[in-house]
Structure 1
């Protein structure tokens, strides 16, 4: 009976957290709705800037001119509500963590948000111009590059998510080390595999040119190394604090 009560309470807590996430997301969508076309135009700027003179985007479906800007509003609302969403997730998980692990909630929420936004900014300002410039310049002669706005948004959203998640690698590394799932030594031994995996992911999520693959793989590997460095510093700090505390207790033992 006790197990059933605990399960029900956890499910109720999960429902409440998800409801809060949905309410905030819905409010942001309503607030951003009047700016839907402006938001999409901002997202389309990297492609529009790389098109030849007179180039433009097209809409091939009847409902695309309405639903595509709405999807861009949904993406923007998700990004803005990301800190609140991450906090709700951490708050749900927190009761099952130790005290020293709970102290990491706010730093990790802040770091996760900043890193995800940095990944999206990296994709928008650095990767997109390279990708779309490559596509425009390699189009066969006599072929007009007129991308469908729906296909363009799906493509950019997938890259936003890929780069956003890639930039979360340091947070994942710190969490794995802090919770004792893996050791720093094992992470260092896996460097070669991570580097190969980074280039494999780059080949999957980017167009078939070496530059864009390199622009995803190298940040992914460097962020992995940054995560190892941060985790090492945190572990040393904890060991130093523990040794200091134990040395202060020694005279009392005597």
Structure 2
């Protein structure tokens, strides 16, 4: 596919993904109240445990409206995740055959639960992070936290973990598209483990190492599961190319078949 066609395809997929996000945001507008209460609950729990005044503050006249729009867009990302994940798949794998495009069903069936699982793991770690960060408020002082700042922190945390859980799926998608072979992912497994633990340490700023390990292990496990899937796919591709007498994707050229050598 020429560069111009790739750019046109990218524009098309971005437009369709944006439409899905807008429709999801409209639904999120009506779900704002219960979701807002859920997102601020960790802060309320900390205030109750410490018997301190820790609350959200809507500083400006239009702040409450801005927060509602921001939360609605955030919900739109989650609600429309099956749609924009499909658009991502459709852009990454345009050159696959009709049979191989059926993998899109498996891609969505895997990506959507993983995205939700990553967000759920972040929400599980959120109370500890909020508790640690609010411990620096001096005794007797009042913690008046800007609502937009707090909600931006929470939403970035949930989205970061959701996207982190999607990276193994992206590995498999690139492998199926012939862009990245399993050997490439295998050589970088040490860096992947380091990045996973670094990401967990940064995104879960808690004093105990157990939380960091609990968060990092699923990410590492998903990486190695994706590596196994890529390895099996590469073997099938190599066997088909060998049977057809084509050069292997690693650059080696197969010898003549046994009948020809005899």
Listed as ranges, the matches of 1:164-243 within 5 Å are 164-207=162-205, 209-211=207-209, 212-235=211-234, 238=236, 242=240
In the alignment, what sits opposite 2:88? 89
Unmatched segments (≥5 aa) in structure 1? 247-254
Distance 2:129 2:202 in 1: 14
The structure that is helix-richer by fraction is 1
- TM-score, structure 2 as length reference: 0.75
- TM-score, structure 1 as length reference: 0.77
In the alignment, what sits opposite 1:250? none
Matched residue of 1:60: which SS? Answer: coil
In the alignment, what sits opposite 1:65? 64
Contact 2:43 2:55 in 1 (8 A): no
Residues 87 and 58 (structure 1), Cα distance of their counterparts in 2 relative to 1, 3 Å cut: same
Residues 233 and 46 (structure 1), Cα distance of their counterparts in 2 relative to 1, 3 Å cut: farther
Q: Which region of structure 1 is more displaced relative to structure 2, 88-97 or 73-82?
A: 88-97
Contact 1:39 1:69 in 2 (8 A): no
Task: Report how far residue 74 of structure 1 moved.
Answer: 0.8
Contact 1:127 1:215 in 2 (8 A): no
Distance 1:18 1:191 in 2: 31
Distance 1:224 1:105 in 2: 20
Task: Report how far residue 123 of structure 1 moved.
Answer: 0.8
In the alignment, what sits opposite 2:147? 149
Listed as ranges, the matches of 1:39-78 within 5 Å are 39-52=35-48, 53=51, 55-78=54-77
Contact 1:17 1:89 in 2 (8 A): yes
Contact 1:203 1:213 in 2 (8 A): yes
Unmatched segments (≥5 aa) in structure 2? 245-262
Contact 2:92 2:173 in 1 (8 A): no
Contact 1:47 1:128 in 2 (8 A): no
In the alignment, what sits opposite 2:258? none
Contact 1:163 1:216 in 2 (8 A): no
In the alignment, what sits opposite 1:249? none
Residues 234 and 51 (structure 1), Cα distance of their counterparts in 2 relative to 1, 3 Å cut: farther
In the alignment, what sits opposite 2:114? 115
Aligned length: 239
In the alignment, what sits opposite 1:251? none
Contact 1:51 1:136 in 2 (8 A): no
Distance 1:182 1:86 in 2: 19
- Alignment RMSD, CA only? 3.2
